[in-house]
């Protein structure tokens, strides 16, 4: 009988040595595969726009030393015989390590998605990064809560009562914080649906201003008169919001009147003059001109056009230019604008 045939913990020394050799070989192979895979996939990721290979690289980098060691030990454990009690404990350890590593990989995926989302939104709406970061924190908390419950369940703990308790506690907390949670979910809706972003000029009911900050609970608007108006996100989304920054073109309607003494031919000529003036105006799209109504002291016309540049200053500049040209053309044509007047006829009775 040689020294290799001596029995230790139910296995010969030779079996233990074989198990250790398998552990070292498997661990070395896994470590080499990890390094080679990271190097090759990193090179591939740098030359492609696909984000999946970047995620795989991050997950490989976050594969911990202990998971490789446990995997190697698990492979080597097949050449030795373990007592049933030891085998049961060993199986639980392997499952626990796999659960923890799975949580690390899931956390890596969350961080990867979070980073890419923030990077995309930085140029469009930098304020949304605060909400996205908070959502990432909530996702991680939920993830590790699930991991903890899986670990406790694997250790034989009855988690049914714990989950029920957490559910009741969650309902109580949600009821206590329903206003805050409402604003948080409203912030999420603003970030995802994007009804407005920082820099947009909006009108909310009778209040107007430029979006200055979008937070987790409130949105702040700088009004035209200079003060800052603060809305809770939940109340803001319940209101009717008019976003003027998203306006593609701006509609303009104006009216004017001429005196009743204007001849019929001139009345027809007025429509042609105003149409020609608007059509020759840059950045203006003509819609219509009509002899609208007989008023108390004037014959009223209504003109409608669209300014293809939504800027309010451009809109006012075009309206000013049209008004000046109409005034000039009417003066040249001898057309008189009407103003509120009354003519009183007095009839004397003859005796």
Whether residue 182 is predicted with pLDDT greater than 80 in this model: the reply is: no
Does the structural domain 250-333 have CATH classification 3.30.70.100? yes
Task: Pick 347 or 269 by higher pLDDT.
Answer: 269
Mean pLDDT of 274-300: 93
Whole-model pTM?
Answer: 0.52
Task: Give the residue among 301, 304, 295, 294 at the shortest CA–CA distance from 270.
Answer: 301
Token code pair at residue 247? 């306006």
Residue 298 confidence class, pLDDT cut points 50, 70, 90: very high
In DSSP terms, 64 is beta-bridged to none
Within the chain, all domains assigned CATH 2.30.30.60 are found at 187-246
In DSSP terms, 285 is beta-bridged to 306
Task: Pick 171 or 310 by higher pLDDT.
Answer: 310
- The CATH fold assigned to 187-246 is SH3 type barrels. (2.30.30)
* Radius of gyration (C-alpha) of the chain in whole angstroms: 39
Most confident of 162-171, 304-313, 336-345: 304-313
Q: In this predicted structure, which of 61-75, 222-236, 250-264, 265-279 has the lowest mean pLDDT?
A: 61-75
- Distance separating the N- and C-terminal Cα atoms of the chain: 162
What proportion of the chain, given as a percentage, has pLDDT over 70?
81
In DSSP terms, 201 is beta-bridged to 210
Express each pLDDT in 185-240 by its tens digit. 777 777 777 788 888 889 988 888 998 888 778 888 999 888 999 988 888 888 88
Helix (H, G, I), strand (E, B) or coil at 276: helix
The reported pLDDT for the residue numbered 175 is 53
Question: Whole-number mean pLDDT of the chain?
Answer: 80
Q: In this predicted structure, which of 5-14, 74-83, 261-270 has the lowest mean pLDDT?
A: 5-14
**What span, in angstroms and rounded, lies between the C-alpha atoms of 95 and 42?**
30
Give residue 97's Cα distance to chain centre. 36
Q: In this predicted structure, which of 127-131, 141-145, 346-350 has the lowest mean pLDDT?
A: 127-131
Whether residue 6 is predicted with pLDDT greater than 80 in this model: the reply is: no
Within the chain, all domains assigned CATH 3.30.70.100 are found at 250-333
Token code pair at residue 219? 């949105």
Element (H, E) at 244: none
> DSSP string covering 288-334, please?
EEEEEEE-SS-EEEEEEEEESS--HHHHHHHHHHHHHHHHHHHHHHT
**What span, in angstroms and rounded, lies between the C-alpha atoms of 254 and 119?**
46
The reported pLDDT for the residue numbered 167 is 61
Task: Give the residue among 257, 264, 269, 270 at the shortest CA–CA distance from 341.
Answer: 257
The reported pLDDT for the residue numbered 286 is 94
Residue 337 confidence class, pLDDT cut points 50, 70, 90: very high
């Amino acid at each position: 009988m040689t020294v290799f045939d001596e029995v230790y913990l139910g296995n010969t020394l030779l079996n233990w040595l074989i198990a250790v050799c398998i552990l070292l070989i498997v661990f070395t192979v896994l470590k080499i595969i990890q390094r080679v895979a990271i190097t090759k996939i990193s090179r591939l990721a740098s030359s492609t726009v696909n984000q999946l290979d970047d995620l795989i690289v991050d997950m490989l980098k976050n594969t911990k030393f202990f998971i490789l060691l446990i995997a190697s030990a698990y492979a080597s454990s097949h050449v030795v015989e373990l007592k049933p009690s030891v085998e049961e404990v060993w199986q639980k350890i392997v499952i626990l390590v796999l659960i923890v590593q799975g949580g690390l990989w899931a956390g890596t995926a969350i961080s990867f998605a979070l980073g890419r989302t923030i990077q995309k939104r930085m140029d469009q709406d930098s304020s949304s990064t605060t909400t996205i970061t908070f959502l990432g924190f909530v996702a991680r908390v939920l993830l590790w809560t699930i991991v903890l419950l899986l670990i406790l369940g694997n250790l034989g703990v009855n988690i049914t009562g714990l989950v029920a308790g957490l559910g009741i506690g969650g309902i109580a907390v949600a009821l206590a914080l329903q206003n805050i949670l409402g604003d948080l979910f409203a912030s999420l809706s603003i970030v995802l649906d994007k009804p407005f972003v920082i820099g947009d000029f909006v009108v909310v009911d009778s209040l107007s201003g430029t979006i200055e900050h979008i937070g987790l609970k409130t949105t702040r608007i700088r009004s035209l008169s200079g003060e800052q108006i603060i809305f809770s996100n939940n109340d803001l989304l319940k209101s009717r919001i008019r976003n003027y920054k998203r306006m593609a073109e701006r509609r303009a309607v104006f009216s004017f009147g001429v005196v009743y003494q204007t001849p019929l031919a001139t009345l027809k000529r007025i429509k042609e003059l105003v149409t020609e003036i608007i059509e020759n105006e840059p950045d203006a799209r003509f819609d219509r001109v009509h002899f609208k109504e007989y008023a108390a002291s004037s014959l009223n016309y209504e003109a409608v056009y669209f300014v293809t540049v939504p800027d309010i200053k451009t809109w006012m500049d075009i309206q000013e230019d049209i008004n000046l040209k109409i005034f000039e053309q009417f003066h040249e044509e001898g057309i008189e604008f009407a103003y509120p007047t009354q003519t009183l006829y007095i009839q004397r009775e003859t005796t």
